[in-house]
A and B are shown apart, each in its own frame.
Chain A
Amino acid sequence: MADARDLEKILTSVPMNRRMLLKRAAILGASAPVIGSLLAACEDDDADDDEPAVEPDDDVDDDVEPDDDEPDDDVPADEEDRYGGEIVALGHHEIESLSPDDQGPTVHWTMITNIHDALVDVDWQFEIENELAREYEISDDGLEYTFHLQEDVLFHDGEPFTSDDVRYTWEFHADPDNGTIQHGNFMNVDSVETPDEHTAIVHMAEPDASLLRGACRIGIVPEHHHGEIGEDAYKSDPIGTGPFYVDEYSPAEFCRLAAYEDHWRGRPYVDFFTERIIPEGSVRTIELQAGDADVIVWPPVIDDVIEMLEDPNIRSYWCLTQSVNHISFNNTHEVLSDRAVRQAAFYATDRQQIIDDVFLGAAEVAHSNLVHTLEPYFYEDVHRYEYDPERAEEILEEAGWVMGDDGVREKDGVRCEWVCQVITGDQARLPQAEATQAYLAAVGINMEIEEAPFATIQENQREGNIGSGLYNWSHGGWMGEPDMSSELHSGARNNFHRFYNDRVDELIEEGLQLVETEDRVPVYHEIQEIVADEAAFLYFSFWEWYGQWSTRIQGLPEETDGQQTSNLLLHVRNYWIDPDQR
């Protein structure tokens, strides 16, 4: 067993909360007195395990905020020392495109958002951060957004950025005939007016409160270049106003960006920012540990992540994902259409135990479709389904589901059973499905498990061919936006639960009409309340997500407040390499 002082050194080598500290201490075999003394020293991270691990930030305000992404003060005395070197990130699949239209996959997004600037973006604390929009105003009726643009901004080819580029980009995405991936974010845009070179006024066909965290985050492309070569060619030949330009691009191998000297915020500290593609998670872990890379864009398996928590050369940031790990319920299924069965399934499943056993504790039980860190939208008083198998049996009995001779309940000749499909070869979630199956069986519910490709599961869900699917998917909360119209509205393509509730539809539509956060909050609280009461789907857990960086990278925040560690990659321009380790 390690010496107490060694343990203290290892355990406190990265910023962490009490939860992480306990986990690392357990891994290292620390004794109770050692843990006690370390916890005492960890006064800032006093979160209870039943509470958010970190205090969420204040409400995200729609008002204009000054751009507050300056590097830390903990810097070398001579700023010149910060310049130079290369930051290497590791992605897990091909970088198929560098166009903002394809910024969905994280591996793409990492490069695209460093090549392009958008009007605004969202930082790691879910705060709206101004980029090309110096400031903006939103009309009271939510039908007009006026963006005052930064001046003296140049594209990478030296051409000036103007409001025409904003109009071009927005109209390109808003036109359904262009078939862009991002069209959904722009679907309510009517027109864009450009009264002068540095003002763009967006006129909405109808209010859309998700605009700031949706459309406004899409990078602006230059009309003179994109208009000339078209979207297809632009995917591999992008020109943005971002802090880096494309130096070398080999989609299956790497993309190397070089510092843009004339960036309107000033030249980035590092000369190059490269994303290398390594599909195998274990190899990404080894490369980071060996010092051949600085950050992993897509985390490896949780065992490797936990192993790296011990590494004194790696700084770890923690957050909960917005995607909820869940077992869907087909609300039109002959068994699952009965709310009693859905509620009983919740009560019957010991989610915390499954998290501890299957996910090594690296997740938190979900009490709503929104993660609790998404304040103020998360509804604290939502009905919670604690593990209570007796209550589950009671509900089923009351609903007329009678235990059969084979241990499976029946009602009117219908057996209480359905098929749950799990992604083929999914070694993380298959054991989760099996454990849930055992809990359900204990109260007389038979959930059969089948493996199928992800696309097959989703198609079966859309067509109502199966009772359940098990995977992770966000139901509101993406980039801090609570809108869940894509998943829970009756007309949504991705309403995988076939959950049709008129009141929820009304509320979702209302939530998008309201611009002010305080007006939206009660709307989303009510949606969560209904979703919980109806047990629309078995929201299981929110997984822990780790951003892990080499300690040679300086300028990173001390902690990310548990919000969105991936978004640290948006600010590579502010990071530099420790001159002694360059």
Chain B
Amino acid sequence: MLNYIIRRLLQGLVVMLIVSFATFGLMHLAPGSPIDLMLGEAGRVTDEQIASIERQWGLDRPFHEQYIIWLGNVLQGDLGESVVRRGVPVLDMVSEAAWVTIQLNTLAIALAVGVSLPVGVLAATWRYSRFDYASMVGATLGVALPNFWLGLMLIILFTATLGILPGSGWGSWQQMILPVIVMAVENTAIFARMMRSSTIEVMTQDYVQVAKAKGLAQIPIILRHVVRNSLLPVISVIGWRIAFILSGTIVVETVFGVPGLGRLFITSVDRLDYQVMQGIVLLFAVVVVIGNLLTDLTYAYIDPRIRLS
């Protein structure tokens, strides 16, 4: 098992190296300069001034030199400084934003799992009942509704109309409610559908039929034999959804003004803040690599038949 983990981590390092090089290259190939964005349309600009600012901001060196310096610094735990917010370490910016995104996603996934698993199991148990139809219609809607639209509708309802919840910001529990709900809706829908179909499949297995034949009550059968085995595909999906955290949070964090990684990423793209973009992409490469590894390890824990070695 240990060998497997080490091998996977080494593979992950190669992936991260490729991702960082590709991102660095793509960003520098993209036309435009953060300096022009900061200069805007007011005031006079001279080429001498641009050259001087490029020197100050470290943008005057060739691409490969910038990449090697960056990589060397990363290996020492230094992600560099923001190009736009001069003097501010990228690590600080990313850490602050990451903590917000971790809170948002942890709460959202906990809510999604907490709601979707019972709903999926009950829908499978009471198959073709009104509850089953209602939950699956809800799941379809949950996948179909765009986060952006849902967020605005909730703000209109709870902030503008009822005035009971703040529509933006992050920090108080009241501010967390709406973005967490919006983040959770899609995942709840996906997990519930997955849990339902998985449960139905497990319920047709021989060992469940045997348990029934032995005269065990339905609830113990479901809790002891069905749920645990039905979880495997759902766990797989949860791991897969980690890769979508960034794209999901960009929308939600923008709508609700949450200062998380999604917002920071879109801001850094908008302002061409190369160092910050690079830091966030690297962080997500790490998250995806480790997320996939953890998913596989969880598989092994839940299903002893899987031999990772």
Tell which of A61-69, A90-98, A362-370, A561-569 binds the partner.
Answer: A90-98
B73 to chain A, nearest CB (A): 17
Cα–Cα, bound, A23→B122 (Å): 56
B160 contacts A290, CB within 8 Å? yes
Asked whether any CB of chain A lies closer than 8 Å to the CB of B159, the reply is yes
A232 contacts B31, CB within 8 Å? no
A278 contacts B32, CB within 8 Å? no
B167 contacts A485, CB within 8 Å? no
CB contacts (< 8 Å) of A210 on chain B: these are 44
CB contacts (< 8 Å) of B39 on chain A: these are 104, 181
Cα–Cα, bound, A104→B90 (Å): 23
Tell which of A336-344, A346-354, A450-458, A497-505 binds the partner.
Answer: A450-458
CB contacts (< 8 Å) of A145 on chain B: these are none
CB contacts (< 8 Å) of B86 on chain A: these are 97, 231-232, 235
Asked whether any CB of chain A lies closer than 8 Å to the CB of B168, the reply is yes
Which of A97, A250, A323, A478 interacts with B85 by CB under 8 Å? A97
Cα–Cα, bound, A185→B170 (Å): 39
A283 contacts B42, CB within 8 Å? no
Which of B31, B46, B169, B256 interacts with A455 by CB under 8 Å? B31
Q: Which of chain A's residues has its CB closest to B55's CB?
A: A179
Which of B36, B44, B257 interacts with A277 by CB under 8 Å? B257
Cα–Cα, bound, A485→B46 (Å): 11
Within 8 A of B (CB), among A148-197: 176-185, 187
CB contacts (< 8 Å) of A250 on chain B: these are 259
CB contacts (< 8 Å) of B97 on chain A: these are 252
A287 contacts B259, CB within 8 Å? no
Asked whether any CB of chain B lies closer than 8 Å to the CB of A83, the reply is no
Asked whether any CB of chain B lies closer than 8 Å to the CB of A313, the reply is no
A549 to chain B, nearest CB (A): 18
CB contacts (< 8 Å) of A485 on chain B: these are 44
A301 to chain B, nearest CB (A): 13
Asked whether any CB of chain B lies closer than 8 Å to the CB of A135, the reply is no
CB contacts (< 8 Å) of A252 on chain B: these are 97, 259, 263-264, 267
CB contacts (< 8 Å) of A278 on chain B: these are 168, 257
A284 to chain B, nearest CB (A): 9
Cα–Cα, bound, A105→B55 (Å): 22
Asked whether any CB of chain B lies closer than 8 Å to the CB of A289, the reply is yes
B49 contacts A292, CB within 8 Å? no
CB contacts (< 8 Å) of A233 on chain B: these are 87
Instruction: Return the CB mask of B52-73 against A: 1 if under 8 Å, else 0.
Output: 1111110000000000000000
B167 contacts A292, CB within 8 Å? yes
B138 to chain A, nearest CB (A): 26
A413 to chain B, nearest CB (A): 31
Q: Which of chain B's residues has its CB closest to A282's CB?
A: B152
Asked whether any CB of chain A lies closer than 8 Å to the CB of B40, the reply is yes
CB contacts (< 8 Å) of A473 on chain B: these are 41
A280 contacts B38, CB within 8 Å? no
CB contacts (< 8 Å) of B155 on chain A: these are 283, 286
Asked whether any CB of chain A lies closer than 8 Å to the CB of B124, the reply is no
Cα–Cα, bound, A214→B44 (Å): 9
Chain B residues with a Cβ closer than 8 Å to the other chain, count: 55
Asked whether any CB of chain A lies closer than 8 Å to the CB of B215, the reply is no
B129 to chain A, nearest CB (A): 39
Asked whether any CB of chain B lies closer than 8 Å to the CB of A265, the reply is no
Which of B84, B168, B170 interacts with A287 by CB under 8 Å? B168
CB contacts (< 8 Å) of B264 on chain A: these are 252
Asked whether any CB of chain A lies closer than 8 Å to the CB of B174, the reply is no
Assuming the contacts A250-B259, A253-B257, asked whether A493 and B160 have C-beta atoms less than 8 A apart, the reply is no
Q: Which of chain A's residues has its CB closest to B40's CB?
A: A104
Within 8 A of B (CB), among A213-264: 214, 230-233, 235-236, 250-254
Asked whether any CB of chain B lies closer than 8 Å to the CB of A276, the reply is yes
B37 contacts A455, CB within 8 Å? yes
Instruction: Return the CB mask of B236-271 against A: 1 if under 8 Å, else 0.
Output: 000000000000000000111101000110110011
Asked whether any CB of chain A lies closer than 8 Å to the CB of B163, the reply is yes
Cα–Cα, bound, A455→B269 (Å): 12
Asked whether any CB of chain A lies closer than 8 Å to the CB of B74, the reply is no
Asked whether any CB of chain B lies closer than 8 Å to the CB of A578, the reply is no
Cα–Cα, bound, A187→B167 (Å): 45
Assuming the contacts A493-B45, A494-B45, asked whether A276 and B40 have C-beta atoms less than 8 A apart, the reply is no
A374 to chain B, nearest CB (A): 15
Q: Which of chain B's residues has its CB closest to A293's CB?
A: B168
B32 contacts A456, CB within 8 Å? yes
Q: Which of B55, B85, B270: most chain A CB closer than 10 A?
A: B85
Assuming the contacts A187-B44, A290-B163, A494-B45, asked whether A251 and B38 have C-beta atoms less than 8 A apart, the reply is no
B49 contacts A455, CB within 8 Å? no
A478 to chain B, nearest CB (A): 5
B33 contacts A287, CB within 8 Å? no
Asked whether any CB of chain A lies closer than 8 Å to the CB of B285, the reply is no
A179 contacts B52, CB within 8 Å? yes
Asked whether any CB of chain A lies closer than 8 Å to the CB of B156, the reply is yes
B53 contacts A181, CB within 8 Å? yes
B162 to chain A, nearest CB (A): 10
Asked whether any CB of chain A lies closer than 8 Å to the CB of B233, the reply is no
B43 contacts A455, CB within 8 Å? no
Asked whether any CB of chain A lies closer than 8 Å to the CB of B13, the reply is no
A283 contacts B32, CB within 8 Å? no
Asked whether any CB of chain B lies closer than 8 Å to the CB of A303, the reply is no
CB contacts (< 8 Å) of A232 on chain B: these are 86-87
Cα–Cα, bound, A105→B42 (Å): 9
Asked whether any CB of chain B lies closer than 8 Å to the CB of A474, the reply is yes
B161 to chain A, nearest CB (A): 9
Cα–Cα, bound, A460→B31 (Å): 9
Q: Which of chain A's residues has its CB closest to B256's CB?
A: A283
B267 contacts A287, CB within 8 Å? no
Cα–Cα, bound, A289→B155 (Å): 12
CB contacts (< 8 Å) of B254 on chain A: these are 279-280
B167 contacts A286, CB within 8 Å? yes
Asked whether any CB of chain A lies closer than 8 Å to the CB of B18, the reply is no
Cα–Cα, bound, A479→B56 (Å): 28
Cα–Cα, bound, A346→B151 (Å): 43
Which of A176, A479, A483 interacts with B52 by CB under 8 Å? A176
Which of B36, B52, B167 interacts with A183 by CB under 8 Å? B52
Q: Which of A180, A230, A253: most chain B CB closer than 10 A?
A: A253
Assuming the contacts A280-B255, A456-B31, asked whether A214 and B43 have C-beta atoms less than 8 A apart, the reply is yes
A486 contacts B156, CB within 8 Å? no
Asked whether any CB of chain B lies closer than 8 Å to the CB of A448, the reply is no
Q: Which of chain B's residues has its CB closest to A486's CB?
A: B44
A455 contacts B257, CB within 8 Å? no
Asked whether any CB of chain B lies closer than 8 Å to the CB of A459, the reply is yes
Asked whether any CB of chain A lies closer than 8 Å to the CB of B166, the reply is yes
CB contacts (< 8 Å) of A289 on chain B: these are 160
Asked whether any CB of chain B lies closer than 8 Å to the CB of A102, the reply is yes
Asked whether any CB of chain A lies closer than 8 Å to the CB of B145, the reply is no
Asked whether any CB of chain A lies closer than 8 Å to the CB of B47, the reply is yes
B46 contacts A184, CB within 8 Å? yes
Cα–Cα, bound, A283→B48 (Å): 42
Cα–Cα, bound, A177→B51 (Å): 10
Asked whether any CB of chain A lies closer than 8 Å to the CB of B30, the reply is yes
Instruction: Return the CB mask of A367-404 against B: 1 if under 8 Å, else 0.
Output: 00000000000000000000000000000000000000
In the assembled complex, 27 residue pairs joining A and B whose CB atoms fall closer than 8 Å, in A order, are A97-B86, A105-B38, A105-B40, A176-B52, A179-B52, A179-B56, A183-B49, A185-B44, A214-B43, A235-B85, A253-B257, A254-B169, A280-B257, A283-B255, A286-B159, A286-B160, A287-B167, A289-B160, A323-B41, A453-B30, A453-B31, A456-B30, A458-B36, A478-B42, A479-B42, A486-B45, A492-B45
- Given A232-B87, A456-B31, A494-B41, 12 new contacts (CB under 8 A): A96-B85, A105-B38, A179-B56, A183-B52, A184-B44, A276-B168, A278-B257, A280-B254, A283-B167, A292-B166, A474-B41, A483-B44
Please list the 10 inter-chain residue pairs (A to B) with the smallest Cβ-Cβ separation, ordered nearest first: A455-B32, A232-B87, A184-B44, A179-B56, A252-B259, A179-B52, A459-B31, A104-B40, A179-B53, A278-B257
